[in-house]
Amino acid sequence: MIRNFSITLLTLTSVATPVCAQEVRLKAHHMLPPVAPGHAMMLAPWVEKVEADSGGRLQIDIYPSMHLGGQAPALIDQAYDGIVDIAWTLPGYTPGRFPRIEVFELPFLAAHPVVMNFAIQDFIENHPEEFAGHKLISVFVHAGQLIHSKEPIRTTAELAGRKYRIPTRVAGWMVESWGATAIGTTVQKIPEMLSRGIVDATLIPYEASFGLKVHDLVDYHILLDSETWPRLNAQVLMLTMNQGAYDRLPADLRAVIDANSGRNVARWMGEAWVAMEAAGEQAAGESGEYIYLPPEEVELLRQKSQRQVAERWISVVAGEGIDGEALVEEATSYLEHYGQLFAAGNLQ
């Protein structure tokens, strides 16, 4: 079924492998349902590409919906400890463990995912200590968070006083800056929380809302009428491999993994995620209403939230000996650089 997707991986670098030597079978684990576009349109095609590049010598079995056990926050340790070979997860599910990369989740830094993915590559290359001990396949972002709400929200003031499901602490600080309540949980629990009235709204991209059928539970989908990007903030994700599992591969199979990692997949992952939004956006529009906060309300929200959340994050990471102000400047510089290249059609 996934071999007919319009987004292909044929543009990625292929690696020739000898028709010999051992075959290796790996386990990939994640929290999304198999119907989620992130599974069907990103992870599964990536696996197909790796298997094809290896000449069939690498076989990767995907286990969605936490089928191998545990809760989503455990995924990073499952990969680190070798319980699974590959995991798709959010660094923010383990708050404080990867503090530097959180800079890309600050409000009003969101940009096109291709731009953000290249900026993140520069950032993690400059801060190898952030993911020490992890064999990173990719650190990337989704298309950005919007609000899926039971009630209409048409002004910045109307954001206050509500309960929002949030994925990470930075998103929680953003919600609290609105004068609202943040309730953290993993993505699988969103439908239950909405249907039981535990939350009034949730922050996720259309990709996730489609797989979870959030459009059947809410009527309003709130975005920003912004000149830059219409989402509140971005969410950093990671595809990571157990270092031992990688090291045990023969050199040519390690080369296959490397050719389908990092900067080599940054553009494809960004473009794929934008495409993955389409089904969820369509479903939301068919069953509910899109609301774009007008530019004057967006500016009010920026004044209310941007600096307040950044200063809170800077204060928290300072306790770990990290210069957060410098990281904000660094991340902003990378985003501006790649944003200009992308706008000019020169980002390859």
Phi then psi for residue 223, to 5 deg, are -125, 180
Closest CA to 188 of 90, 80, 260, 105: 90
Residue 8 pLDDT: 39
Residue 348 pLDDT: 79
- Please give the C-alpha separations between residue 138 and each of 55, 86, 191, in angstroms, as whole numbers: 22, 11, 28
Which three-class secondary structure state does DSSP give residue 102? helix
Spatial separation of the C-alpha atoms in residues 131 and 142, rounded to whole Å: 19
**245, 25 contact by CB (below 8 A):** no
Cβ neighbours of residue 128 closer than 8 Å, sequence gap 6 or more: none
Query: Which fold does the domain 146-232+278-343 belong to in CATH?
Result: D-Maltodextrin-Binding Protein; domain 2 (3.40.190)
Residue 21 pLDDT: 64
Tens of each residue's pLDDT in the chain, 348 residues: 333 333 333 333 344 434 446 899 999 999 999 999 999 999 999 999 999 999 999 999 999 999 999 999 999 999 999 999 999 999 999 999 999 999 999 999 999 999 999 999 999 999 999 999 999 999 999 999 999 999 999 999 999 999 999 999 999 999 999 999 999 999 999 999 999 999 999 999 999 999 999 999 999 999 999 989 999 999 999 999 999 999 999 999 999 999 999 999 999 999 999 999 999 999 999 999 999 999 999 999 999 999 999 999 999 999 999 999 999 999 999 999 999 999 999 997
Q: Which one is the CATH code of 23-96+113-141+236-276: 1.25.40.10, 3.40.50.1100, 3.40.190.170, 3.10.20.600?
A: 3.40.190.170
* pTM tops 0.85, yes or no: yes
| Token pair in block for residue 265 | 């997949």
- Please give the C-alpha separations between residue 248 and each of 14, 137, 143, in angstroms, as whole numbers: 21, 16, 34
Sheet holding 181-184, edge to edge: 181-184, 163-166, 201-204, 146-149, 220-224, 289-293
Residue type, 180: A
What are the structural domain ranges in the chain? 23-96+113-141+236-276, 146-232+278-343
Residue 3 pLDDT: 36
Quick one: which H or E segment has residue 121? helix 113-126
